Amino acid sequence: MSELPPDHNADDQPDPFDEIIAEETDRDPDLAVIEAGSRTLRTQGGPPDADIPTRPADPEVDKALREVETELATRWGETKLEPSVSRIAALMDVLGEPQRSYPSIHITGTNGKTSTARMIEALLGAFELRTGRYTSPHVQSITERISLDGAPIAPERFIETYQDIKPYVEMVDASQEYRLSFFEVLTGMAYAAFADAPADVAVVEVGMGGSWDATNVIDGDVAVVTPIDLDHTDRLGSTHAEIATEKAGIIKQGATVIMAQQPVDAAQVLLKKAVEVDATVAREGLEFGVVERQVAVGGQLVTLRGLGGEYPEVYLPLHGAHQAHNAAVALAAVEAFFGVGAQRADALDLDTVRKAFAAVASPGRLEVVRRSPTVVLDAAHNPAGARAAAEAIGEAFQFSRLIGVVGASGDKNVRGLLEAFEPVFAEVVVTQNSSHRAMDADELAGIAVEVFGEERVQVEPRLPDALEAAITLAEEEGEFAGGGVLVTGSVITVGEARLLLGRG
C-alpha cells in the first residue's frame, strides 16, 4: 500500500468528522452525511480472488448435489411467500433450536446487506472467531449461501446437512398448512451447519423484510440496518416508513442496533422500535461513519470513525462510496459485538482491522472479470443500487464509453433502474437471463427505448449474444480508447455472465 501524499499530516489538520457534523445544523443530525474525499491515491493491490465455488469435480458429488438442488426446487421459490415464521419455528423446535447455540449478528436493509455481511465475517475471522455466514441470493452456486470460517460450505457438507435435516423437514411439512419453502429449508440448513461446526458467531442476512423473514428465529445480539429504499413494495409497503416497520422486526430486546444513513421516516420508525425494546442505537453520521475516502487502484483507502475511535488508512478492495459506508457499518457492528462503546472504550486493533478489510471480496459487486475491453459485473437490481453503481463506476474506472448489458427481473422497478444508468451508458444491450422471473427482452427493450431512445438500444435475447454485442461496441473505441462494459440488472444475470466469461 502506498503512503499518503507528503502534505498529509493528521496532527495539524482539524478533524474532518467533527467539521462535517458541525456543518449539519440545518438537517436532522440522524441523517448527517459523511462526505467522501475526492483525491486520487495510487496504491498497489486489488481485490482478492472471489470465493465463488464451481461445480464439484467428483461426478458422484456433483450428481448428489444436483439431486438436492432438484428436491429444493420443488418447494416454493423465494418470491412466493406466506408471511409467517411458524414453519421455520417448528423446524427449529424439532431440530433442538440450533440457532440458539451461538450469538448472532442479524442484517437487514434494502441494499448492501451481502457486502456488509462479508465485511463483518472478515473482521470476526481476523479476530480468530469461527464464523458462519448466511446470505442470499447466490451468484453461481447454491453452496455460496452458507459459509463456514469465511469460505462457502463444501458440497459434501452441504449434501450431508440436507440429508441430516430432511426427515425433520418432512415431519414439519406434514404438520403445517404449507410445506417449508426453499428459503426456509436453506435457513434451517444454515443454522444446523453453524451449530454443528460449531460457529462462535453467526452473521445472518435476511431474505426479505425482517419481522416474518425465515431468518428471524434468531435473537441477534447486534441488529444491522443497511440503507432502506423502495424495493419489494408489493410485500413490504410502498413508503420508507412501511418498509422500515417490517425491517425493524429484527431488533430484539436489549440488542445493539447499528443503523446506516436512512431516510427520515425510516429512521424514525427504527428509533421508535429501539426505544420499545430497550435497544442501544449507534447511528452512521453521529456515533460512527466515514471520515475520509480516497480512490485507490483496485479499491479505495478509507479512514473510518468507529465506536471506539478512528481507524486511519484502511485499504478496501471494493469500489464506490457505498462500499465505504458499508465498511463503516460493518466495523461498528463488530465493535458492538465485542462491547466497544459499552463494556469497553478502547478501539479494536488497527492492524487486524486493516488486514481484515484488505482481504474482503464481494463477487458480483463492481467485479472486474475481463480486460481489453474491461467487463465489470454488478448485481444492482433496483434504482438505489443502480444509482450507487453508476456513481462508483464513473469514479473508479473513468471509461471513455460505457456499454450496458441489462437483464432484469419482471417484478422490479425496471424503469427506475434504467433511468439511473442512462447518464453513464452510451448504449445499452438488453437481454434476459434463464430465470422464470426474467423480464422478456422485448418488453425490457420497450422500456429501454423510452428511457434511452431507439438509437441507443440493442436487443439480444440470449445473454451470450448480448455480451458479445456489448464487447464489440466497446471495442469500436479502439484498443486504447477506454471503452468498457457493465453487466447488471439481476444477480442471476451477473452469475450467468460470470460463468460465460470464464470466472467459475
User: 13 is written with which cell numbers?
Assistant: 489538520
Partners of 131 in beta bridges: 201
Q: How confident is the model at residue 2 (pLDDT cuts 50, 70, 90)?
A: very low
Q: How confident is the model at residue 39 (pLDDT cuts 50, 70, 90)?
A: very low
Digit-coded pLDDT (tens) for 367-383 = 999 988 999 999 998 99
Per-residue pLDDT, 398: 83
Residue 39 CB partners (closer than 8 Å, separation 6+): 5, 294, 295
Digit-coded pLDDT (tens) for 211-242 = 889 999 999 999 999 999 876 555 666 688 98
Query: In terms of residues, how long is the chain?
Result: 504
pLDDT(433) > 70: yes
Share above pLDDT 90 across residues of the chain, in percent, rounded to a whole number: 71
Per-residue pLDDT, 344: 76
Encode burial over 377-407: b for 16+ CB neighbours within 10 A, e otherwise: bbbbbbbbbbbbbbbbbebbbebebbbbbbb
User: 315 is written with which cell numbers?
Assistant: 485499504
Nearest to 135 by CA among 61, 224, 64, 219: 224
pLDDT(149) > 50: yes
User: 111 is written with which cell numbers?
Assistant: 441494499
Beta strands, E only, 451-498: 457-459, 483-488
Mean of pLDDT over the chain: 87
Per-residue pLDDT, 386: 94
> How far from the centroid of its chain's Cα atoms is residue 473's Cα?
30
Per-residue pLDDT, 92: 98
Q: 27 phi and psi, to 5 degrees?
A: -130, 165
Place of cell 465485542: 338
Q: How confident is the model at residue 27 (pLDDT cuts 50, 70, 90)?
A: very low
Digit-coded pLDDT (tens) for 451-460 = 999 999 999 9
Q: What is the mean pLDDT of residues 258-263?
A: 94
Alpha-carbon distances of 345 from 29, 313, 341, 360, rounded to whole Å: 23, 21, 5, 26
Q: What is the mean pLDDT of residues 62-80?
A: 89
Q: What is the mean pLDDT of residues 248-257?
A: 96
Task: Kindly give the pairing relationship between strand 309-316 and strand 365-370.
Answer: unpaired
pTM: 0.85
Per-residue pLDDT, 482: 85
Nearest to 463 by CA among 405, 404, 378, 402: 405
User: 220 is written with which cell numbers?
Assistant: 441477534
pLDDT(73) > 80: yes
Q: Is 206 exposed, middle or buried (0-12, 13-18, 19+ CB in 10 A)?
A: buried
Share above pLDDT 70 across residues of the chain, in percent, rounded to a whole number: 86
Digit-coded pLDDT (tens) for 273-316 = 999 999 999 999 999 999 999 999 889 999 999 999 999 999 99
Q: How many CB atoms lie within 10 A of CB 259?
A: 29
Partners of 222 in beta bridges: 105, 256
pLDDT(163) > 80: yes
